[in-house]
Structure 1
Amino acid sequence: MKSLTKLNKVFYGIFIFIIIISVFSIYVMNYTEKNTGNKEKIIVKVQGKIVKDLPLNKDNKSKVYKFNFNNNYGYIETKNGKVRMLEMDRKICPKEVCSDTGWISKKYQIIVCMPNKITVNIDSNKEDTLDAISS
């Protein structure tokens, strides 16, 4: 009878140890994902070179960033996990296709200003849900 009680104590000790290790593992996995995963950022390139590398703003409040190119400057706005290029002077960007593109929020979307060789896109390690049938 005494050996059965000892066996029960050992069993419960191992059981509690396994539960503690499991809870700790779940905590570590969640903490690691929050600190290293799903970091979205805005990449602004001029002539293929990165001129701005900014965090994607997830707040409701708008943030505007200035970037320089070819002795001129442009502005991008980020809000609610989206980004857009603001209008530039018509002398710099005559057709304003880049600002007419509007908001982008997916990593496969891109804003392009051909006359100034500017691209704006979202870089993320998060996988987008684009299916194989879409074209």
Structure 2
Amino acid sequence: MKKVDIIILSGILILSIMLMVFMKYVPNLSSEMTAVINIKEETYRVNFSSTDIFEQTIPFERGTLTVEFNKGKVSVREMDKSICPKGICSKTGWIDKSYQTIVCLPNKISVKIIDGLDTKINSIDSISN
């Protein structure tokens, strides 16, 4: 390798590390967010802000899903062991970044955050399914 190649690779590596640190430690700048909750073929969208504290309960085939919203963070409350045997979805904890997802495989549930408000609250999104 030439000296120029090492300098270019070092620059790319430093830039990559800086971007990873920025994404990890810089808070979400958008105060308005939308949680996208997928349960099998149905998609629900819940708008919330970085100051809201509330719960959203969604009934589904095997039981009820309770999603907690707390100041820009989202988590899934623990379900009964007969519905979700390992409880991995509730053990995931709070998410607050758009690249994080809560998943419950036995019930085909996923919860993720997108930045900005969605005008359709709790609507079924048939296009993405």
Counterpart residue number, 2:111:
120
Give the partner amino acid of 2:85: P
Counterpart-to-counterpart distance in 2, 1:72 and 1:96 = 14
Structure 1: unaligned runs, 5 residues or longer = 1-36, 126-135
Structure with the larger RCO, 1 or 2 (CA within 8 Å, 6+ apart): 2
Matches within 5 A, 1:16-35: none
Specify the code of the residue in structure 2 equivalent to 1:56: F
Q: 3-state SS of the aligned residue for 1:104?
A: coil
User: Larger helix proportion, structure 1 or 2?
Assistant: 1
Unmatched 5+ stretches in structure 2: 1-29, 117-129
Which residue does 1:69 correspond to in 2?
A: 60
Query: May I ask how many residue pairs the two structures share in their alignment?
Result: 87
Check if 1:44 corresponds to 2:3: no
For the residue of structure 2 that corresponds to 1:98, the secondary structure is helix
Letter in 1 for 2:69: T
List per-residue Cα deviations over 1:67-97 (Å, max 9, x = no partner).
1211421100001100000000110000000
Q: Is the 8 A contact 1:57 1:82 kept in 2?
A: no
Q: Pairwise CA RMSD of aligned residues?
A: 1.8
Larger Rg: 1
Give yes or no for contact 1:77–1:83 (8 Å, CA) kept in 2: yes
Higher strand share: 2
Aligned to 2:97: 106
TM-score normalised by length of structure 2:
0.62
Give the Cα separation in 2 of the matches to 1:64 and 1:57: 13
Where do 4+ consecutive residues of structure 1 move more than 6 Å? none
Q: 1:56: Cα distance to partner?
A: 2.4
